[in-house]
Chains A and B, each alone.
Chain A
Amino acid sequence: MTDFKKIEEKLKTEAKRLLESGEVTVVLCYGKGFDESHPMPYAAKAVADVDNIVFNEYCNYNMARYLVRYPQGTKIAIAVKAADSRAVIVLIQEEKVKRENLVILGIPVQGMKNPKTGEVIDSKTTCGMNNPVLFDILLGEEVHGPKVASPYDVLAEYEKMDKDVRWEFWVKELDKCIRCYACRKACPMCYCDPCFIDQSKPKWADKAPQSAGNMMYHLTRFHHLAGRCIDCGECSRACPVDIPLYLFHKKVAKDCEEMFNQQAGMSMDDKLVLVNFRVEDSDKILE
């Protein structure tokens, strides 16, 4: 089992060292919230801030979301868990951040929990990985244990649905949407400014939380994330009405893997599937 206290201490030590030496100007990590089971994402900018750093099983935030908020060239240290490190890789590949400006603090972890439900976060709603893919400093022991369940197992039921049933499923699920846009805001890959849904010329969908507009927003967002979603599950956890957004993202990720033999953010050497043309690429997408 992960020793959360030990990781917290190491996180504090590293943050202190990095801020003190001036190596970075901000450490993106986790801080105290209004109570212990509600920690917050945290941007430590001074040595004095280090005391506020925490790490426990509820620190499920993907801090990569905040990288694009800082001007290019800012030296940033970022605490990442497995999926978060994949997000950092994609952001580097998409040239939103430069590798040399980052100090990546990897956190191998098992048993993170959703603060809203108390459920353990596993491969059902995320990629289910335990160890960061990319890091400069590792803040704990890598987790080696029984092989984790495939992140696509949860799709079994979903894939049984035929086209019409699947459409009905999404109509029903997306009708719940209240259009608070927490999903896109929590997503590390959703950094467009402005987002298409905020544009007024042309206006892509109406503002009211109705079926047609909800469909327009979510289906477009789903497809904008094709080959880019790193399956951290932040969108589904942020959703106040529990829409299982992860199902669509996982399905597209699985298709990408089958067609292009590649998962987003698993290697710095990859090129994103949808911006990379190879003659031997699958034509299944055109069928």
Chain B
Amino acid sequence: MLKRIAIEKISQLAAVLMEKGTLLAPVKEVAGHNFVQILDSQKVDLNFYNTLMSPKSAFFPHKEDFVKYKVGKPLAEAEPVLLNCKPAFLFGVRPCDVKSFEIMDIHFNAAGIIDPYWRARREATTIFGYAYDISQPVDSADFYNTLGINAADPEGSDIFMVKKDKELLLKTITPKGEKLLAELSALDKVSTADEKYFEEYIKKGKEYKTRFNCVDSEVVAKKLESIFDNTDFWTKMSAVCLSCGICTFVCPTCYCFDICDDNMFGKGTRSRVWDACMFTDFTLEASGHNPRTQVYQRLRQKVCHKYSYHIRKYGVISCVGCGRCTRQCPVNIDIYSIIEAALKA
């Protein structure tokens, strides 16, 4: 099913979705756009390239409370924090970010233990993918082509949207999307020209080029394994890395977390909070020993985890080439350039 709506009427669509559940959509904030729960339908703003933070927090929030308890009381009195999942709509997700959910599913919804929080949110959410505007130049930090993703890739979305001048075309991809779109009264019917435009756009999306590195995941995994001990290489790559956590926090596929107890005046909360392998205390052990005290060890871990260990374990690269880490890095370290250099090392 294909429908359309004028972009200036987007707040009407937002209002309808807000009645049905929780709407998460891009909103312009001081430093850039971010996915935010919409409380005022006028705030939805599709005039963005990509969001500053990735949309992973829709399913995996920065902080997630698990249990509330009282210090010194029996375990039975502790109260689990129940997840009250209303239907949710994640609106305007770029194709590379949609792809990231599939990678994150491996960790939270497939391999071994299933994370009930991730799964519940994921099932309750309908994803509105949104093609990059192929009439605009590509950002120099992006490299999603390298990971086999293109600018107008509908795969993974429930509903996929493309921009046509001042209008938005919405196409259903999954039965979930089909069901939802049929219920949305705010949308208009399309013409055959619109249908043709949509198909053309998807085709043209494949020709819209980001930076491209011919990465064979097996080759890169093997190469990184072979240079693990090449301290000179990693020291050079990390010579100016500040070892802050920006790259991992903005990354759509970084999923490391810490379980924290926060208690004051006898009342406590146990929660899950994002952690970053770039932090010194990430690997600090209870004994006081820290196996990764050097910046090069931490940067090597980040790069090798994404481009080597993850391939070995799950068969896919844990990166979607969205370019956020490169764009936000205070010293312009570029993971794509590190892979390029590694292949030559």
Contacts and interface: CB of A to CB of B under 8 A. Distances in A.
Given A34-B326, A198-B280, A240-B52, A42 B258 contact: no
A198 B279 contact: yes
A206 B260 contact: yes
Contacts of B246: 180, 182, 238, 240
B132 interface: no
Given A34-B334, A61-B331, A206 B262 contact: yes
Interface residues of A, number: 36
A33 interface: yes
Contact of B240 (A43, A181, A194, A210): A43
B283 to A, nearest CB: 12
B250 A240 contact: yes
Interface in A23-40: 33-35, 38-40
A40 B31 CA distance: 21
Given A35-B140, A66-B240, A200-B281, A180 B276 contact: yes
B260 A207 contact: yes
B331 A209 contact: no
B182 to A, nearest CB: 39
B337 A185 contact: no
Interface string A16-60: 000000000000000001110011111100000000000000000
Given A34-B141, A61-B331, A240-B246, A42 B280 contact: no
Contact of A115 (B62, B242, B275, B332): B332
30 contacts: A33-B332, A34-B140, A34-B141, A34-B326, A34-B332, A34-B334, A34-B336, A39-B332, A41-B240, A65-B242, A66-B240, A176-B29, A178-B249, A180-B245, A181-B244, A181-B279, A182-B246, A185-B242, A186-B242, A200-B281, A207-B273, A207-B275, A209-B63, A234-B330, A238-B246, A240-B52, A240-B246, A240-B249, A241-B30, A242-B30
Residue of A35, A39, A40 with highest tally of chain B CB at under 10 A: A40
Interface in A112-148: 115
A180 B244 contact: yes
A237 interface: yes
B249 A180 contact: yes
Given A182-B245, A206-B273, 20 more contacts: A35-B140, A40-B333, A42-B240, A176-B30, A176-B31, A178-B53, A180-B244, A180-B249, A180-B276, A181-B279, A185-B244, A185-B330, A200-B284, A206-B260, A206-B262, A209-B62, A210-B63, A238-B244, A239-B31, A242-B30
A75 interface: no
A280 to B, nearest CB: 40
Interface of A: 33-35, 38-43, 61, 65-66, 115, 176, 178-182, 185-186, 194, 198, 200, 206-210, 234, 237-242
B174 interface: no
A200 B281 CA distance: 9
Nearest to A40: B332
Interface in B236-253: 239-240, 242-246, 249-250
Nearest to B275: A207
A207 B239 CA distance: 27
Nearest to A235: B330
B344 to A, nearest CB: 15
Interface residues of B, number: 38
The 7 closest A-B pairs by CB, nearest first: A238-B330, A185-B242, A182-B244, A242-B31, A208-B63, A180-B245, A41-B240
A240 to B, nearest CB: 5
Contacts of A61: 331
Contacts of A33: 332, 334
Nearest to A178: B249
Nearest to A39: B332
B281 A194 contact: yes
